[in-house]
Structure 1
Amino acid sequence: MTTTTDRPTSVDRTTHPTRPVRRIGLVGWGAIGRVVGTALTEGHMPGAELTCIIDNRPLVDAPAPQLSFEDALAVCDLIVEAAGQAVVREWAERVLDSGTDLLIASTGALVDPGLVDRLRAAGPGRVYFTGGAVGGLDLLQAVRGLGALTSVRLTTTKLPATLHQPWMDAELTERLRTATGPVEVMRGTARDVPVKFPKSTNVAASVALATGDPDLVEVVVVADPAATLTRHVIEADGPHGTYRFEVAHRPDATNPATSQVVPHAVLRSLAAVVGRAGQIL
């Protein structure tokens, strides 16, 4: 299994006039998928074409044929997932076993060690992941070459409504509903938190993949009614240095659980896979 945030080492990144066009199947036509699909349709990424869209809802405005997953695997050589962790769990192995490559946006699924082991054994398709709404992952990956970090903490702050989950009890639900200031919703490891917040904490999994140890990464999830920006703060310490990264993004207007930047991170990763790394979309 090949994994990457945005610069896959197993892919030739030189431009070549005869390189075949990658046939893209896009899973999900929501806040992420629409931006990615529109960019492909409008020709902003030479070397890639939107061949089909996979979505469990009937689409009336899709710019490419809507196919089933099985039919998509017959005509595509790269699947871009933008539909949630459940899709990764259900389909990732089958995509790779078909010989089709897979780019994962919902990295939260990859904190499941059993799934990761199965993906490592699958193929001949290759799997890539995007870092999404957070930066500094390349540096954390580089630090691993010097030795293990001793502590890593991610603090994510979002609007309360984007964090409510069916498993929450009445007390916590009421605290979120009536919050007038920051409320700590959960504290756990990067292995535990993405499972509890499958649409809101893919960043935790991306940090875990960069550091190589989901159990090392402490994740603090905070709800704040004043959080007009979604904020992620990464703090890491080790024998070779101390690191701190902070980002604050505007939420997507149609899906506040997703930051506006996420589909553009997917596009950047996709550009690397199709051989246009380093170019600005």
Structure 2
Amino acid sequence: MSTARVRRVGVVGWGAIGRIVGTALAEGRVEGATLVCVVDNRPLGETAPAPQVPFEEALDLCDLVVEAAGQGVVREWGERVLASGTDLLIASSGAMTDEELAKRLLAAGPGRVYFTGGAVGGLDLLQAVRALGPLDEVRLTTTKLPSTLEQPWMDAELLTRMRTATGPVEVMSGTAREVPVKFPKSTNVAASVALAVGDLDAVRVRVVADPAAHHTRHVIEASGPHGAYRFEVAHVPDAENPATSRVVPYAVLRSLAALAGRTGQIL
């Protein structure tokens, strides 16, 4: 009989990402991992396939917490999760643009912190290249439907340009330190690329609104002394939450499978 450890997982956030991840865990579709609880600030009734508990109780039940509820959860609970000895898998990597928070999380323990690649690929290669030396240039262009990019800080002129656009409109450009702060639900990819490269200020980001963007598109271009790299992905947006891509919960599940020790995983 196998004595392999089964990861006891709690999912924080029962939305577009958490529901798919939690349901797959509850149905036994991630070998070596099981759902033991759900945390959400709304009463879920019988819609969740595991007990809904307060965050404090979840830390006693789990050895791995999956964050699927946004950057605020990482800021409020990240260090406490890790200090309890529980591992933390973060989907909202945009929280790591807060450099002080990032330092505290990476120094915390004894729990370990992990990040999922989410809606973009090539991060493993960028991390490998980083070991050879800094890249000269890293650019990310993210293109989404205008309605998914509207933010409270936008002025009337920009909102009008976005809402009446007949083609692509640049909404913002800046570094991976600056842009995710302005688009907390739409630019986790920028933070993920910066984590892979190891420098928030080295990644230049353009956010583009396009009324014809039926797919969310991310283009990463990087170059340096050791080579040149280009990755492009085009995802179908999630029907419930168009600010995220349908693939994201499945990226979380792939990360969970790796953490649970499934053989044959690409790490």
TM-score, normalising length: structure 2 = 0.97
Query: What is the CA–CA distance in structure 2 between the aligned matches of 1:277 and 1:88, rounded to whole Å?
Result: 29
The aligned counterpart of 1:19 is 4
Q: Tell me what 2:222 maps to.
A: 236
Residue in 2 that maps onto 1:193: 179
Aligned-pair identity in percent equals: 77
Aligned pair count?
A: 265
Matched, 1:204 2:190: yes
Match of 1:58 among 30, 34, 43: 43
Equivalent of residue 156 in structure 1, options 142, 157, 161: 142
Distance in structure 2 (CA, Å) of the matches to 1:33 and 1:149: 35
In 2, distance between residues paired with 1:166 and 1:276? 43
Is residue 135 of structure 1 aligned with residue 118 of structure 2? no
Quote the offset at 1:111 in angstroms.
1.6
In the TM superposition, 1:96-175 aligns within 5 A as 96-175=82-161
Q: Which has the higher contact order (CA 8 A, sep 6+)?
A: 1
RMSD: 1.2
Q: Alignment partner of 1:198: what SS?
A: coil
Q: Deviations over 1:191-231 (max 9, x none)?
A: 11111101000000110000011100000000000000000
Q: Which residue of 2 aligns with 1:36?
A: 21
Equivalent residues of 1:130, 1:265 under 8 A apart: yes
Q: Output the amino acid matched with 1:171.
A: E
Q: Cα distance, 1:173 vs. partner? A: 1.3
Structure 2: stretches of 5+ with no match in the other structure: none
Deviation at 1:75, TM superposition (A): 0.9
Counterpart-to-counterpart distance in 2, 1:187 and 1:277: 41
Task: Name the counterpart of 1:252.
Answer: 238
Q: CA deviation at 1:74?
A: 1.1
Partners of 2:2 and 2:65 in 1: CA distance: 23
Q: Does the aligned pair in 2 maintain the 1:249–1:261 contact within 8 Å?
A: yes
Q: Indicate the residue corresponding to 1:9 in structure 2.
A: none
Q: Which of 244, 247, 251 matches 1:265? A: 251
Summarize deviations over 1:38-96 as a string: whole Å, max 9, x none.
Answer: 11011101211110100111113111111110110111110000010111011000000
Measured after TM superposition, the shift of residue 117 of structure 1 is: 1.2
